[in-house]
Amino acid sequence: MENSILERIARLLTKDDLQGKGKNKVQFCTNGELNPADINIEVDGLGPMTFPINQQYIQKLINISSKAQFGLRDQTILDKNIRNSYEIKADKLHITINEQSLTSMLSKMRDSLGLSEDSVLTAHLHNMLIYQPGQFFDMHQDSEKLENMVASLVVVLPSPHISGDLIIEHGKKKHIFSSENIDQSNAKCIGFYADCKHKVEKIKQGYRIALTYNLVLKSEEICNIKNVNRQLTEAIQDYFAIELENKQPKKLVYFLDHSYTEHSLHLSMLKGADRTNVFALYVVARELSLIPYLALVEIQQSWTTDGNDRNPIIDELIDNEITLSYWIDSNNKKLPFDECNIGEDEICLTKETESLEPYNTEYEGYMGNYGNTMEYWYRRAAVVLWPESSQIPMHFRLNYDNAIDELSVLTTSPGNEQKAMEIIAKAGKYLHRTFYKKDKSDFAILANIALYIKDKDTALSILSHFEWQILNSDIVKLLVKLQIQYGISWCTDLLNNWKNHARHSKDCFTKEIHSFVQNFLYYGGAASIVELLLDVQSNGIIASDKETYKWQKPVKLKESLPKRIGTLYQTLAACAAIQNIPILDKIIEHLIANSELYPDTSLAELLLKLQDTAPSEYIVHYKPLKSYLVKTIDSNLALGMRSNDDWSIDAKLPCKCEHCVIATNFLHCKTEITKIWPILAAIRDHIMAMFKDLDLPVNLSVERKGSPHKLIMVKTEILRQNAKKRFDELKFYQQKLQTEL
């Protein structure tokens, strides 16, 4: 249904009553003539030029000229396979053209090109080009060399030549401008829009001498059409009458036929049919309470292909990413809007994108699971319409900082509650920069708005999009204010919403939770809210530890231990702040069951630190942890100090293949210090890989003599040093734990 309406709109924009009929129909190029008597040319060092130009003077022109270059993106290139001609720059030329003749011709060209009757075209000399037999200029497009440049003008001076036609293309349309002559008295002229591709074909005989000008448009025109096209109005009204299933603001995006840049995207600079169509759409917008904008369009298409990068055969369009940027309002003012992606079902066009020349292409060959694709990048311009009723959500979507600031300022004065509620309702999901928010500054703004409106349901709605990680000391006061204003149950619902956004329990951590809880309680926060925080935190610790043990190697486990112990201290100290016992017991049970993650000496240090900071009446609840540590440490000390002849290492390789079993047996052996092992390279590399990240006091090296080379494994003195260090630590903590809790 929507596609048929979009096609209807496109047909109406191409109808004759919009674009003109017969000789007044808008064109992309237009011819003219100048009498040579009205043209005076003098070239530095050569004197005045006479017409028709004789061969002797032409040779002098060639002698002072230079090879013509051409621009390719940001480069200037000299390549006679693409451009083969001579050029004389404007600073060597002194040209006057009868003002009345030139003005008359440019006025006719302006009208033929469909520009405003109130605008003026002025010609700015660029250069003189000389083509001799065999020379040409391949297909290219002029760049915008001057501000408000809208078109190019070519004046072919009277000089006998055969061929050298100028071929101009705009999309699928083509015009052939023939200047060849044997005895032509007048100067043939053609003007064409700057975004047209064009080329000069090879000269067969004679010399083609041409002046090129940049045509600059001077116009202050703003849309002033008063007549409304009723059929177009009805079609656009029908389009906006169909609501989108996802309830997003509906847009109509009409792609312009011509190309524009940031410099030329301006209502007064619109070319040909674009001017007529844009103004017609602006009038409809005024009639239907729509808001119109101009914008640049970036299109990236991905096509499947057959063939190769030199000769790709386009098959199927698999992706079409379309982005709007660089926005201009109806007063020609640039707007600070963000980029916006649009769907194909929002687009209306009268010229297919594929008929344009892409500014970049990229071929990707077959890569196994993907590939054999061709990427095309295009630039276009568009008119964008949406209803005035969608202005608030689109303002938040495209200029979030400004929109949220305006709403925030509104809530600083009393009496604006209802207006603020209306803005929140209309903004919908766009009230949030992203769906799951982590930015504490965004929370501060929205929390103050939530407090201002005094509506608990709306307040819950606008704050529920944040994630658990937002919890930190910076938002404590606001969270307490929200709890006081809307109640403990409301605050619990809010926190549960944040928790439910997390994919895993391990993602729900509150940094520095101890200081957070202390501040929260100090400012009047409820203990039941703290219990919820601690319950989520403890579940997060347990889930995270499971993942850590499953995936981290011993070296990484050792590196992450200080951070994990720090998190435990913060959490258990927060439990002590509200004297919570169930969560404490759950965490202690987890620690006792995971000795691989939490060595006894690290837990002993943690326990002593907790004892120093916890309320005296709460310390008794650490008894299960203390009992476990006393028993474990006493058992380890009962084994005594490692004897000097004991070189065993209590570890095993993660692999159970026959070679790794041999290596593990070497580790467990009390007497074997060095193992020299002749093995094949593949097995040797495998053994060495298994040792990696185990952090064992064993040096591995390869003796590259004989066949096969030998893997040398040597237990180091670090084994004894570590054993003594651990024994001393166990003795230290045994003594410290003798004190009754």
Asked if residue 739 has pLDDT above 80, the reply is no
What's residue 741's pLDDT? 46
**What is the separation of C-alpha 51 from the centre of its chain, rounded to a whole number of angstroms?**
58
pLDDT digits (tens, 9 = 90+) for 267-307: 989 998 899 899 999 999 999 999 999 999 999 999 888 76
What's the CATH class of domain 35-218? mainly beta
In the chain, where the domains are located? 35-218, 222-393, 502-638, 643-741
Q: Is 217 left (phi over 0), alpha (psi -120 to 50) or beta?
A: beta
What's residue 223's pLDDT? 60
Is residue 254 a contact partner of residue 279, using CB atoms and an 8 Å limit? no
What's residue 23's pLDDT? 44
What's residue 357's pLDDT? 84
Tell me how far apart the alpha carbons of residues 506 and 181 are, in angstroms, rounded to a whole number: 83
Long-range contact pairs involving 40-46 (C-beta distance under 8 Å, separation at least 24): 40/95, 40/96, 40/97, 41/93, 41/94, 41/95, 41/157, 42/93, 42/94, 42/95, 43/88, 43/92, 43/93, 43/94, 43/128, 44/92, 44/93, 44/94, 45/92
What's residue 510's pLDDT? 84
pLDDT digits (tens, 9 = 90+) for 576-629: 999 999 999 999 999 999 999 999 999 999 999 999 999 999 999 999 999 999
What's residue 367's pLDDT? 62
Tell me how far apart the alpha carbons of residues 83 and 67 are, in angstroms, rounded to a whole number: 9
Tell me how far apart the alpha carbons of residues 21 and 592 are, in angstroms, rounded to a whole number: 90
Encoded amino acid at 368, one letter: G
Q: What is the mean pLDDT of the chain?
A: 90
Q: 222 pLDDT band (50/70/90 cuts)?
A: low
Hey, is 51 helix, strand or coil?
coil
Cα–Cα distance list, 580 to 94, 568, 572, 589, 615 (Å): 94, 15, 9, 15, 12
Asked if residue 20 has pLDDT above 60, the reply is no
pLDDT digits (tens, 9 = 90+) for 685-724: 999 999 988 889 999 999 999 889 999 999 999 999 999 9
Identify whether 358 is preceded by a cis peptide bond (ω within 30 of 0): no
Q: 436 pLDDT band (50/70/90 cuts)?
A: low
pLDDT digits (tens, 9 = 90+) for 319-371: 899 999 999 999 899 999 999 999 999 999 999 998 888 888 888 776 655 56
Which residue stretches of 342-487 are H helix?
A: 391-398, 400-410, 417-427, 440-453, 456-463, 476-486
pLDDT digits (tens, 9 = 90+) for 95-147: 999 999 999 999 999 999 988 888 899 999 999 999 999 999 998 888 888 88
Give 270's contacts (C-beta < 8 A, 6+ positions apart): 256, 258, 278
What's residue 163's pLDDT? 94
Bridge partners (DSSP) of residue 166 are 177, 200
Between 26 and 570, the more confident residue is 570
Asked if residue 247 has pLDDT above 80, the reply is no
Helix-strand-coil percent breakdown of the chain, rounded to 5?
Answer: 45, 25, 30
Asked if residue 544 has pLDDT above 60, the reply is yes
Tell me how far apart the alpha carbons of residues 212 and 85 are, in angstroms, rounded to a whole number: 13
Q: Using the structure block, give the residue that is written with the tokens 């987890």.
A: 590
Q: What is the mean pLDDT of residues 528-547?
A: 94
Hey, is 251 helix, strand or coil?
coil
Type and span of the H or E element at 174: strand 173-177
Q: What is the mean pLDDT of residues 180-201?
A: 90
What's residue 373's pLDDT? 85
pLDDT digits (tens, 9 = 90+) for 367-381: 655 568 889 999 999
Between 388 and 272, the more confident residue is 388
Q: 22 pLDDT band (50/70/90 cuts)?
A: very low
Tell me how far apart the alpha carbons of residues 46 and 37 are, in angstroms, rounded to a whole number: 19
Asked if residue 25 has pLDDT above 90, the reply is no
Percentage of the chain beyond pLDDT 70 is: 94
Q: Indicate the DSSP class of residue 372.
A: -
